[in-house]
């Protein structure tokens, strides 16, 4: 196979002339909480998905908590051992959506080629802008965006600049917080090739471990193989990974609001440690469901089927699915996911990663017509109002002042699943 990396360095036609940014809001959930509540300034803060210290996990943390060693997905009690002064706050997803939209409006002032990657990340393509012809000029725009986000929202953002989506994302991860980094042919050999192969997008823990077994520890060592070898090791994904490492990814940045007819919308996570009880799994499902629900609503869809994927510690992945009433509600999606998990898996065995995917999508326009005859729509609106009220009360009186209904439903679902298993 042709030496793609050499072609990249010599600018022999691989994405030459493209200017792609990747913007990543730093410690997004925790940063929004600190912005909303000035009294948290100067304190280590963690956003956590449960009222119970025993089973709750850290969903996000600010820089001060990070410096104390607090990690995403660890139990709250573990985080507090590392950082006794850690302030625990509940998630407020409505606020996160609001801030996400504010930031995207800033991006819109430069281009409509904006492809969201969750609430806190987005690719921005400037290719074709008469004022932006080089990566250096792209970096100037990236710095403008960085400064505007800080001034207009109070949040910080790290922006990567490259001629392809993979390296733009790699660059935004390279230096945080509040930074602009350029990855291109000029620093490919000196910087990019020396990075751990696990830094590449879509290289999860198991893929990284497999690559390490073959002595492939850095991006440069991956580039030193070839597409045929990678395909033999990892299948079609291996060949794509090789091209990505060589700077040959040519995927386009979608125009915001424009997409192919979506077949599914989902999200998954591989956590720093195994999940070993149902409460932790439920907390993760709640976090994933919020992102999935947000993406459904943003794309103008509701779903009729919820699927979960579960990877065991033996790295075996299985999927289960169930039909639900038409929904784009996070609570309903999380409850369906938890029910699927309890009914189909041994909840006492640890799992490595979990994911939620929604399918059988119905466009928003059709959904509005259905909702005229669907009384469950009123229930979902009530759920949204309850969530807002709960977050306001917690914000005033503390995280333990009120119990969120979703945190109580694990026992209900477990009971129902047991009854189901016995034929009741």
Is 210 contained in some domain?
A: yes
Residue 382's pLDDT is 61
**What pTM did the predictor assign?**
0.66
Which tokens is 122 given?
């987005």
230 lies in the same domain as 301:
no
Is 179 contained in some domain?
A: yes
Judged by DSSP in three states, 152 sits in helix
CATH of the domain at 275: 3.30.1490.100
Half-sphere exposure at residue 200, Cβ-oriented, CA atoms within 13 angstroms: 30
Containing structural domain, residue 354? 264-421
Among 218, 245, 272, the domain boundary falls at: 245
Among 184, 211, 245, the domain boundary falls at: 245
Half-sphere exposure at residue 258, Cβ-oriented, CA atoms within 13 angstroms: 8
269 lies in the same domain as 408:
yes
Burial (CB count within 10 angstroms: exposed 0-12, middle 13-18, buried 19+), residue 272: exposed
348 lies in the same domain as 278:
yes
| Triad 395, 153, 51: Cα angle to 5° | 25
Look up 121 and say whether it is catalytic: yes
131 lies in the same domain as 176:
yes
CATH of the domain at 13: 3.30.70
Residue 12's pLDDT is 61
- Name the DSSP letter for residue 348: T
Nearest 5°: phi and psi at 350? Answer: -70, 150
For residues 347, 350, 351, 354, the Cα torsion angle rounded to the nearest 10 degrees is 50
Which tokens is 368 given?
């509005």
Is 98 contained in some domain?
A: no
Between helix 405-421 and helix 278-299 the angle, nearest 10°, is 110
Where would I find the beta strands (DSSP E) of 82-155?
87-89, 114-116, 121-125
Point out the residues of the chain with pLDDT beneath 50: 1, 53-54, 259-261, 365-377, 386-424
Pairing of strands 87-89, 45-48: parallel
**Radius of gyration for the alpha carbons in the chain, expressed in angstroms and rounded:** 22
Q: Please tell me which residue in 121, 125, 239, 280 is annotated as part of the active site.
A: 121
Judged by DSSP in three states, 279 sits in helix
Is 277 contained in some domain?
A: yes
For residues 120, 296, 328, 397, the Cα torsion angle rounded to the nearest 10 degrees is 10
| CB of 58 closer than 8 Å to CB of 90 | no
Residue 9's pLDDT is 75
- Name the DSSP letter for residue 75: B
234 lies in the same domain as 136:
yes
Residue 377's pLDDT is 43
| CB of 114 closer than 8 Å to CB of 253 | yes
184 lies in the same domain as 323:
no
Looking at the structure of the chain, the number of domains it has is: 2
Is 128 contained in some domain?
A: yes
218 lies in the same domain as 275:
no
Match 């999508």 to its residue by tokens: 361
Is 387 contained in some domain?
A: yes
366 lies in the same domain as 401:
yes
Match 């403008």 to its residue by tokens: 144
167 lies in the same domain as 138:
yes
Residue 397's pLDDT is 44
| CB of 302 closer than 8 Å to CB of 320 | no
185 lies in the same domain as 227:
yes
Is 376 contained in some domain?
A: yes
Half-sphere exposure at residue 89, Cβ-oriented, CA atoms within 13 angstroms: 28
Among 210, 245, 280, the domain boundary falls at: 245
Is 131 contained in some domain?
A: yes
Which tokens is 350 given?
């640890």
User: What residues contact residue 357 under an 8 Å CB cut-off, 6+ apart?
Assistant: 264, 265, 266, 267, 268, 292, 306, 307, 308, 309
| CB of 174 closer than 8 Å to CB of 160 | yes
CA-to-CA distance for 185 and 380, rounded, in angstroms? 51
User: What residues contact residue 89 under an 8 Å CB cut-off, 6+ apart?
Assistant: 33, 37, 40, 45, 46, 47, 48, 394, 395, 399
CA-to-CA distance for 358 and 306, rounded, in angstroms? 5
227 lies in the same domain as 317:
no
381 lies in the same domain as 349:
yes
Q: 47: which strand partners?
A: 60, 89
């Amino acid at each position: 196979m042709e030496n793609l990396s050499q072609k990249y360095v010599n600018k022999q036609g691989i994405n030459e002339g493209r200017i792609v940014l990747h913007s990543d809001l730093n410690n997004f959930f925790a940063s929004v909480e600190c912005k909303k509540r000035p009294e948290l300034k100067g304190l280590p803060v963690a956003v956590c998905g449960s009222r119970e210290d025993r089973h709750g996990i850290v969903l996000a943390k600010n820089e001060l908590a990070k410096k104390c060693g607090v990690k995403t997905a660890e139990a709250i009690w573990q985080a507090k051992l590392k950082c006794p002064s850690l302030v625990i706050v509940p998630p407020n997803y409505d606020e996160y959506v609001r801030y996400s939209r504010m930031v995207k409006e800033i991006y819109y002032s430069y281009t409509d080629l904006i492809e969201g990657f969750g609430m806190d990340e987005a690719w921005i393509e400037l290719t074709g802008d008469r004022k932006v012809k080089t990566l250096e000029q792209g970096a100037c725009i990236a710095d403008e965006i960085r400064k505007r986000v800080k001034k207009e929202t109070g949040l910080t953002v790290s922006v990567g600049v490259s001629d392809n989506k993979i390296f733009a994302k790699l660059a935004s991860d390279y230096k945080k917080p509040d930074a602009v980094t350029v990855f291109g042919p000029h620093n490919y050999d000196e910087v990019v090739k020396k990075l751990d192969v696990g830094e590449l997008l879509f290289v999860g823990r198991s893929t990284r471990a497999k690559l390490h077994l073959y002595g492939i520890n850095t991006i440069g060592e991956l580039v030193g193989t070839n597409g045929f070898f990678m395909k033999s090791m990892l299948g079609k994904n291996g060949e794509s990974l090789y091209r990505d490492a060589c700077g040959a990814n040519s995927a386009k940045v979608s125009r915001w609001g424009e997409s192919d007819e979506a077949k599914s919308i989902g999200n998954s996570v591989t956590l720093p440690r195994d999940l070993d009880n149902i409460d932790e799994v439920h907390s993760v499902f709640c976090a994933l469901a919020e992102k999935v629900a947000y993406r459904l609503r943003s794309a103008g869809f509701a779903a009729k089927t919820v699927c979960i994927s579960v990877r065991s510690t033996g790295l075996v992945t299985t999927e289960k699915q169930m039909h639900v009433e038409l929904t784009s509600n996070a609570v309903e999606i999380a409850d369906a996911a938890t029910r699927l998990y309890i009914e189909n898996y041994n909840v006492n065995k640890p799992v490595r990663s979990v994911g939620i995917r929604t399918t059988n999508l119905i466009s928003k326009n059709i959904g509005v017509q259905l909702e005229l005859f669907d009384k469950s729509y009123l229930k979902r609106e009530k759920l949204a109002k309850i969530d807002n009220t709960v977050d306001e009360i917690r914000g005033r009186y503390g995280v333990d002042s009120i119990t969120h209904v979703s945190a109580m439903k694990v026992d209900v679902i477990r009971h129902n699943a047991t009854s189901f298993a016995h034929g009741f």
